[in-house]
Structure 1
Amino acid sequence: MKKILIKNGYVIDPGSERKGCYDILIEGEKVERIEEEITCGKNADIIDAEGKIVVPGFIDLQVNPGNTIEYICEMLPSCGITTPLIMPCNVNGIPFLDYYGGLRGVIDASDGQRVNVANAISIEPPDTGAHETYMQLATPVNSIKSRIEEFIELGITAVGEVVLPLGGTAHITTSMSEEFLDKLLNETERHDIPILLHTGLGLQGIEKAVEVSSGRKMHICHVGSTCSQDNIHKALVLLSENGNITSDTHLSEVAGSNSRNSKLVVEYFDKGQAVHIDAQTLKVEKVEDINKARPPFYYNKVNLFENNIICALSEQVDAIESDDLGDGIRSKILLKNLFKLVNSVALEHVKHELMYKMIKKLTINPAKILKINRGTLGEGAFADAVILDLHNERVETVMVNGKIVLFNGKLTGEKGGKRIRFKS
């Protein structure tokens, strides 16, 4: 079996508490050895990473397949993402389950891609309205238990993104958020399956979610965006006081949706602030006719970017995710802002410390939240590796399960991805 040796790189791997110059020897799907210097002779293909940073592949806790699962999986390696948690949304304007012909179709589409795919499927209250995909995922209260058991049998990685207007506007409408969340948490706790929650806008939504959780495990999505018009510091204090709750943040200046019927999209369109963004140039163009325009739709919120930066730097927020809408735009923005943030630091050792903190939130922390065996480059770990050119602010090489899927910034013919099952 051919081996690959990554030499001379500066390794940042919070999962194995490693930071420094190391060589990494990969055989098959896994890391065989990691040492300060490895000599392999002619038995390995050598990748010279001198002057580059080598990190575990990013695990993105929220990616939406707006242009299909297959499409977004082709886009993600150039952003360093090797394992997206793909959540339900409208796909090419069609509700998620309709597009793929049900959960089995989703699962079939998730295997053998260029990146690993972890699946999250939401469970929503039976009176859910205002969003086509989430209305399809509405579940009677007495069927929550059997629905979760179905997910586990199919290997669905997590329950989510559960969207509930706790305390404010969300992408859906429902009158039974608190009651439903309480019953849902009983079942996710019993099965020890991760649950990811999108609360209604504002600090009140996070406060209500924490209150309903009553010590049960739960993950709250994109805290910085949720609290964009409230006191983010109060939210961070609340999270620090409740060890059962994990959380994440965007690292982006835009929020968005794949549904023109989303209450948030309609709200920002009425303000004249809903826009399209070009996937290649990131050029912004105002949406003129919401009924004729094709999703996704993007918009900004007051204090959105400021809050996301605060959360990305805060010890109280566990992970950074893109919430990509399936066109690769917010994954690119995440990477761009990550590079800009780190490169704003002058002192080299401080730059590496900041990079360590950011990489931890993109690798081992989300792996622990999802309870999956990824997010590190320790010996015996799956070889999901990314070589970053920090100076030129780009992803140079990406490996997924030991296969090189991106080299010198360009996709190869390899597809190394696997479907990541619950507790895999």
Structure 2
Amino acid sequence: MQFKKYFLILLTLGCKSTAWGAESISFDKIEELIKAKNPVVEAMKEKAEAKKAREGAFGRSFLPDVSAEVSQENFKLGSEVEDTQSSWKVEANLNLFRGGSDLKEEQLRELETKSALSDERRSVQEELQRAYEIYWLLVFKMEVKSSLENHLALSQKNLNEANRRINSGVATSTDRLEFQMKMSLIRQEISLVEKDIRNLSKKLGIALGKNDAVVPQGPFQHVHDWEINIQPLKVADLPHVKKARTEVEISEARKSQLRSGYLPELDLYAGYSEPNQREERDIPSASERRESYFGLKASWSLGKAVDAGVERGSLQKETAAKTKELDYLIKQTQADQEAVMDGLKTLHSFVHDAEENIKASQAYLDATLKEYARGVKNSPDVMEATEKYIEAKKRYAEINRDFNTLYSSQLALHTQR
């Protein structure tokens, strides 16, 4: 019964919050909005698309490199010939072999795209986790506000009873003052919580790509069968682990690419040109100065080979370091996952205890109020019993907040882009 009352209170609060202009969003709607409108997710998606656009380098490396030159110049040859002539040249180079560097470059770009896609998926999960955390913190603040309003109503009722006892001569004015001071403090707490709700609502709206504040929409139910939805995760499939593994692969690919520095390059080239008379002074006719050529060129650089050896040694150490980081990350992630599952089980068991504490504190408060009305208890006893009841409700809300935040964070890791 108390559990249903909890949901009803929060649902009512959601409606009240909407009244000051905030849009209501259900929990199930968050993932869709994060994927579609979250600015961070959109940015990471565009970065992944940018990396994807760079692929195809291997095929493009075999396209001929065509260059053209044209000039017009004044020149003088000795003391006899002074002229103004043009010259032009068209040349094409075709890559036949780069020691395998072109193929490795394509593999590198594909790995960079893979890394960017892992970043994109990770951004979805992280932004989901952040939005879920704000969402459940908002729910908690709304429940705290409800408890404080309930506390204020109880204090007003107790104040009325104190006035009756004072008028009957069985109590002094200090009873009235105690309740009045307490009510003043409660009103201040309500104002502070309302401020928190407004600020959190704006943050949630920003995370969901909204221009206005957003508040949770009920009903808010504790997930008793949570283990059905939270299946064990394969650590290797988590995007941050995939990213780390891809970084190792990128280092390996770069190291492999540097092997091309030891091998010669092979190019096919051809050209057609017409130099001016400054370059060919013995041939006055422009048509006779025209020349064409075609050839095959092999080249090798000692300096490039030396640099490749140095770079490969550096990348060897870098790859070893990244491999160690990957191994550590896998072990740490496995430990984190085990801690999350253990935390969910522990918090889930706390929920039922908290429900029973609410019932017990409610019964204690009811009994204290009856004894206060009969003159057996005094105002401090009533205030203490009321505090116990309110604290029990707050503790229940805290446990639900912690459980739902942890549960939702784990749900986010199951999200597929």
Please report the TM-score for the alignment, with normalisation by the length of structure 2: 0.16
State which structure, 1 or 2, has the greater radius of gyration over its C-alpha atoms: 2
Please report the TM-score for the alignment, with normalisation by the length of structure 1: 0.16
